[in-house]
Structure 1
Amino acid sequence: MARINVYSYAETEYDETTLQGWFNDDSSTLYKEATRWDGNNHVSVNPVGRHGHQALYRTKGGRWVLNTWSQWQGSEDRYEFIDDSVAKDWLLRNDEDDAVEQHFGELEEESGPNLGGRPSIGPKVEVRIPKDILARVDAFKGTRDRADALRDLIAAGLDALAAAEK
C-alpha cells in the first residue's frame, strides 16, 4: 500500500483534522483484531460498535498506529498515533499475548482489580531504567520492594533539589 497519513481527529466531524505524520505499512507489523461470534456475525472485541473494526500497526520507527474503520458505506478509515499503554491494552484485548511480551515484557501470572490487597498509591507511571541504575536501586532497597524504594529515592531527590534551590 505504501505511505499512510496519520491524523489527530477533532471532537466533532465538522472540526478539522491535523496531519501528525505518516508511516509505510509495507515495513510495519500489522496486528489484526480478534472477533467473537454474536450468533449472527463475527463482531470486533474492540469498543467500536457492531459494524466497527480496528487493527494495530507497529511502525518501523517503533510507533503505534491504531486503524479504525466501519462497514458502513461512506465511512473513512482513521489512522491515529497511540501511546504504549493504549497499544498494550489493545494487544491484550485482542489476544496478542506474544506481541505484548515482545514489546512490553513478560505478562504477569494474574491481573485484575486490587480486592483486599495492597491499596493503590497513585497513578501508574512506566519508565525504563538502565540496568546499572536498577542494580543500584536493588542494592539500596533492603527489605522493601522495588516500588517503595523508587518512591523513596524520587522523594529524597526532589527534597534535595528543593533544598539546593533555597
Structure 2
Amino acid sequence: MRAPPPALRLSVQFASAAHRAELPRHRLARWVRAALRAGPAEPGLRDAASPDAAAEITLRFVTADEGRELNRSYRGKDYATNVLTFDYQPWPPAADIVLCDAVVAREAAEQGKPLQAHYAHMVLHGVLHAMGWDHENEADAERMEAAERELLRTLGFADPYA
C-alpha cells in the first residue's frame, strides 16, 4: 500500500493577476496534492523521510517579463517559459514553482485546451520536477508523461499529450 502524501504548506503568489480569479487556492492545493501522491522519482526517498515532514511549495504566477528574466538568469535561455521549478529538496518536496501566465495562456490557446486544464498540467509538471522527476531522456520522459496523464485523469482532465 502506498504511503499517504505528506502534509502540504502551500504559498500562492500572484505577481500577475491575469488569471487570479481562475486559480483559487483550493483548486491549486488540490492539484499540488494530486502530484504529491505520485511521490518522489526515487521511491526510497519516501521511506527515508520523517513521517511528520511537510511539503513546502510556493506557486508564483508571473508576467512574461519576469518569466523571461528568471529563465535567462537561471537557465541561460532568453525567453519566458511556461513553468520553472526551483527544487530545494525532493522529499518531502520543498520548491518554488514559477508559472508564466502569458505563456500558459498562449499554449492553451494554441493546443486547443481549456486554460484550467493547461494550468493543472503545468502545476503537476512543476511539482513532479520538484520531486526529482525529469524528461531529459526518452525513458524518463515516457515515465513522467505517464504519471502526468494518470494524475490529470484522476482530476478529470483529458490527456494533455493526445
TM-score range, shorter chain: under 0.3
TM-score when scaled to structure 1? 0.23
Q: Which has the larger radius of gyration?
A: 1
Structure 1 or 2: more strand by fraction: 1
Q: Which has the higher contact order (CA 8 A, sep 6+)?
A: 2
Structure 1 or 2: more helix by fraction: 2
